[in-house]
Amino acid sequence: MILMIVLGIIIALVAFFLFSVFRLFLSRFIQRPFEQVIPFLRQDDAATLAELLDANLERQLRDVLSHKQFRKEQLNRIRLAQERIQCRAHNVTVWQEWGDTELSKARVTGSEEIRAVADKLVVACAEFRIGASAVQTQLRLWQVKLLLLPSANVPRLSRLRKTDDFDLLLSYEAIKKTALNLAEACGSDYHDRLLQAL
């Protein structure tokens, strides 16, 4: 019976991951001009996410707290990490849609500078969204594991910060810089407005 429940949960998580990847491609068809970027951005809390993914802090918590307390703390940290990553993934989706819109316009106008920066932004956003989706899937698996298997080892969140070439913290900062570069290339007061919103 338990095996069927666990299997059902795993199938649901895999389906959710595939749906997330499908949404990545679906967003390519949305036109988002700059005027629809800033109002849709969510406030990012970089310090909190960095703290959640800090290996030293996690080690200190593991050493100071009992196994039961650390397990409860990690469950709370997993939930908070999911929230912070979802916020970033939302912002990246907004920037990717804007980048796609500017890329389409640059193909018509022939602006090579805007085309290059917009393309760089779109690619970086797509990579972030795929990486963040994988991290969120792992967090959900850990959450289910901690809820269903009380004697299971408590996972380390800090392991998720960097996987292969994807760094959850640094890649987001690079995307912000690229979005600012695109805003500057587009002219007007876009750069100043976006900088103020960040």
Per-residue model confidence as pLDDT tens for the chain (198 residues): 777 777 787 787 777 777 766 666 665 557 777 888 889 899 989 999 999 999 999 999 899 988 888 889 999 999 999 999 999 999 999 999 999 988 888 888 888 898 999 999 999 999 999 899 889 988 998 888 888 887 778 888 888 888 878 888 889 999 999 999 998 888 878 878 887 777
pTM: 0.81
Spatial separation of the C-alpha atoms in residues 105 and 99, rounded to whole Å: 10
Residue 167 CB neighbours (<10 A): 16
Among 192, 180, 188, 186, which Cα is nearest to 114's?
A: 186
